[in-house]
Chains A and B, each alone.
Chain A
Amino acid sequence: MTLTSITEPYDAAPAVNLEAQERARRARRLAWIVPSLTMMAALALWEWWVRAYDVPHYLVPAPSRIWATLMTDGPSLMVSAWFTVKLTLMALALAVVGGVALGAVFAMSRTLEMSLFPFAVILQVTPVIAIAPLILIYVDSTFAALLICAWIVAFFPILSGTVVGLRSADHNLSDLFTLYGASRWQRLRFLLAPSALPFFMAALKVAGGLALIGAVVAEFVAGTTGRNTGLASRIIESSFRNEIPRMFAALVLVSLLGIAIFLATSALSRLVLGRWHESEIRREV
């Protein structure tokens, strides 16, 4: 028996609206230009204020002086920056691995969740700055100790995002998988993981920032014990020596690192959710 198509096919997508495209392009450009302009204006105001009122550079250095410091101290600051980058990214990666693995275990078993969740909460609510000195004492390698500190901070959002995400699959879709006799693996791969993705991406954005904060805080603690590590320990060291411009220069690098992490996680989120999830879909106006 041959089957005729039971309905006339739907019409093709609406014609491309060139004017709307142009408008969208302009809006995208504006989204870059406006914040850049305000940022430049703020820097100019700062520069003017320092010069006009003769603010001494050991109190507040002008942007131009910070820039000059960045240039002269660049090579040595870069070594420290690389340390912090390495520390932050490794902490974030380990937080993703650990958070997702433990989140999957929690989502599978309420009993395990109930027994292990208190530990996760304790780790989360105890300020890392209070645990860091102990960890630095117990762990021989400074890098490993700092890594543990940064990991503790970044781990929790990933864990809770994964657990909530894995539990948030649509109930009817879940029934559908039951109806078709999906295996545990198929359910995880084709239903639970994609359902969890928006929650995971939101958690990753938070964890990215927290990993940096954890790394910096841990470095501070290590810095006060005289261990030379990344950017944060350079800030401490410069403050001991009263080298305020270098403090600012290191601070700028920390901020840039934070911004880079934010942009990277946001871009990743747009990449994986952009075609289907409400949070990343640009609505046409």
Chain B
Amino acid sequence: MAGPLIRMDRVRKQFGAGTLAVSDLTLSIDEGEFVSFLGPSGCGKSTALRMIAGLLPVTAGTIAIRPGAEEAEHDLGFVFQEPTLMPWTSVAQNVYLPLRMAGVSRAEAEPRVRAALADVGLSRFAEAYPRELSGGMKMRVSIARAMVTRPRILLMDEPFAALDEMTRMKLNNDVLRLWAERGLTVIFVTHSVFESVYLSSRVLVMAARPGRVVADLPLSAPWPRDDAYRNAARYVTDCRAVSEVLKRTLHDADIDH
């Protein structure tokens, strides 16, 4: 393997002349890792993710993604905090969007859209409109859309923050399964210690003002992780350990805001 898949070198992001959202972020992520950016709101974790996606320009520093084989239409899949679906068209058309942008014909795309929807358990909802779906189902469509281009890297920006607990647990399992089956590299932004420990092979704890990584914690709990793992002693100790680090971070920072 030729070095890390994603390398960020002293990346800095300043909005206008004001807030320093991310300061001197240096990290590398290997292929196949499941990395969580964990931190309080305003710590620049979403900003970091958007810069990796190329949605925000960096103020200074570099972000390098090792180029992959040419088999995918798009190397990056992005899942937003909101489902971010086009309300005026069907679920299938929403999932078709990335392929359409890449110039894939409707006929060629059709079986792939169908497969992507089957992967998230929504085969029967291809012709439904987004408003007819529940919050969790909309999120699944969003994941199917991100996966339809066969990306190597999946970026997720607090995707399940607005969902109820049961739905979130279910979708966590779905993401883990996709990650394992597809050999994805996932970067997952969250403010939930429990979610980050459940999912990740590595948690990067971030602190605010300026946004920076304060701890890099590998989590070696074995795979596959499932609901039984949520009750395992290992999970509890890992959660406690990560919480401690996060608490210290908040304590160090000025939190009277």
Contacts and interface: CB of A to CB of B under 8 A. Distances in A.
Nearest to B136: A10
A177 B137 contact: no
Interface string A156-172: 00000000000000101
B189 to A, nearest CB: 14
Interface string B136-163: 0100100000000100000000000000
A277 B87 contact: yes
Contact of B121 (A7, A178, A277, A281): A7
Contacts of A12: 124
A3 interface: yes
B55 A194 contact: no
Interface in A148-189: 170, 172-173, 175-182, 186
Interface in B37-80: 50, 53-55, 74, 76, 78, 80
Interface residues of A, number: 29
B121 A10 contact: yes
A147 to B, nearest CB: 33
Nearest to B93: A190
Contact of B101 (A3, A180, A197): A180
Chain B interface size range? 35 or more
A115 interface: no
Interface stretch (B15-23, B173-181, B245-253): B173-181
Nearest to B149: A180
Main SS class of interface, A: loop
A180 B129 contact: no
B125 interface: yes
B86 A186 contact: no
Given A5-B119, A6-B121, A277-B87, 17 more contacts: A3-B181, A6-B120, A6-B173, A9-B122, A12-B124, A172-B82, A173-B86, A175-B55, A175-B78, A176-B80, A180-B97, A182-B101, A190-B97, A191-B86, A194-B88, A197-B88, A276-B88
A49 to B, nearest CB: 50
Interface of B: 50, 53-55, 74, 76, 78, 80, 82, 84, 86-89, 97-98, 100-102, 115, 118-125, 129-131, 137, 140, 149, 170, 173-174, 177-178, 181
Secondary structure dominating the interface of B: helix
Interface in A4-42: 5-10, 12
B125 A7 contact: no
A186 B99 CA distance: 12
Contact of A5 (B50, B54, B98, B121): B121
Contacts of B80: 172, 175-176
Contacts, number: 86
A178 B177 contact: no
Leading 9 A-B pairs by shortest Cβ distance:
A7-B121, A180-B101, A172-B84, A194-B88, A276-B87, A172-B80, A276-B88, A180-B98, A6-B174
Contact of B177 (A6, A173, A175, A275): A6
A52 interface: no
Interface centre among A12, A173, A191, A281 (most CB of B within 10 A): A173
Contact of A179 (B53, B88, B89, B122): B53
B135 to A, nearest CB: 13
A45 B122 CA distance: 60
B129 A275 contact: yes
A1 interface: yes
B181 to A, nearest CB: 6
Nearest to A169: B86
Contacts of B86: 173, 190-191, 194
A172 B130 CA distance: 16
Contacts of B100: 186, 190
Contacts of A276: 87-89, 129-131
Contacts of B130: 276
A150 to B, nearest CB: 31
A6 B178 contact: yes
B119 A179 contact: no
Most buried by A among B50, B87, B119: B87
Contacts of A172: 80, 82, 84
Contact of A177 (B101, B115, B122): B101
B174 A179 contact: no
